[in-house]
Amino acid sequence: MTIEKVYKEAERCPTCGRSLPLNPDLIPSIREQIGENIRKHRVAAGMSQEEVAANFDPPLARAILTRTENGQQRIELDRLIMIASIIGVDWRVLLEIGEQIPAE
C-alpha cells in the first residue's frame, strides 16, 4: 500500500465528502514503516548508514539517518528522494506501507 492509497482510503466527511485527517495514532506506524523500507533497501544495496550519510552534500549526521530508520524522526520529501538516489531505488518504493496498526 502506498501513502497515496492511505489518503484515498481515508475516512470521508459524511456531509461534504472531504477526506478527514489521518488518525494521529497511525503516524508513528507510518514513520516506522518508511524507516524500515529505508533500512531494508540500504542493506540490500550493501551500504552502511555512514556511507549513505556521507553522500549528502553537505554530509548528513549518521544519527539523523538512524532516527529516521527507527521511525523516531520525520523525513522531508527531498531527503527521502536523496536517500533513494544514493541507495539506488525509486523514492516511491520507500513510501510503500502495509496495513496500519495504531501505535500503543
Answer whether 0.75 is exceeded by the pTM.
Answer: no
Q: What is the pLDDT of residues 30-55, one digit of tens each?
A: 889 999 999 999 999 999 999 999 99
In CATH, which superfamily holds the domain spanning 24-104?
A: lambda repressor-like DNA-binding domains (1.10.260.40)
In this prediction, residue 20 has a pLDDT band, given cuts at 50, 70 and 90, of: low
Nearest residue to 88 via CA among 32, 47, 53: 47
Q: How far is CA 12 from CA 7, 9, 24, 99, in A?
A: 10, 8, 16, 19
3-state secondary structure of 53: helix
Alpha carbon 89 to its chain centroid, in Å, reads 13
Share of the chain above pLDDT 70, in %: 67
Nearest residue to 82 via CA among 99, 104, 64: 64
82 exposure class (CB count in 10 Å sphere: 0-12, 13-18, 19+): middle
For residue 100, what pLDDT is reported?
46
* 16-49 burial code (b ≥16 CB/10 A, e <16): eeeeeeeeeebeebbbbbbbbbbbebbeeeebeb
In the chain, where the domains are located = 24-104
In this prediction, residue 57 has a pLDDT band, given cuts at 50, 70 and 90, of: confident
For residue 68, what pLDDT is reported?
95
Look up residue 21 and give its amino acid.
Answer: P
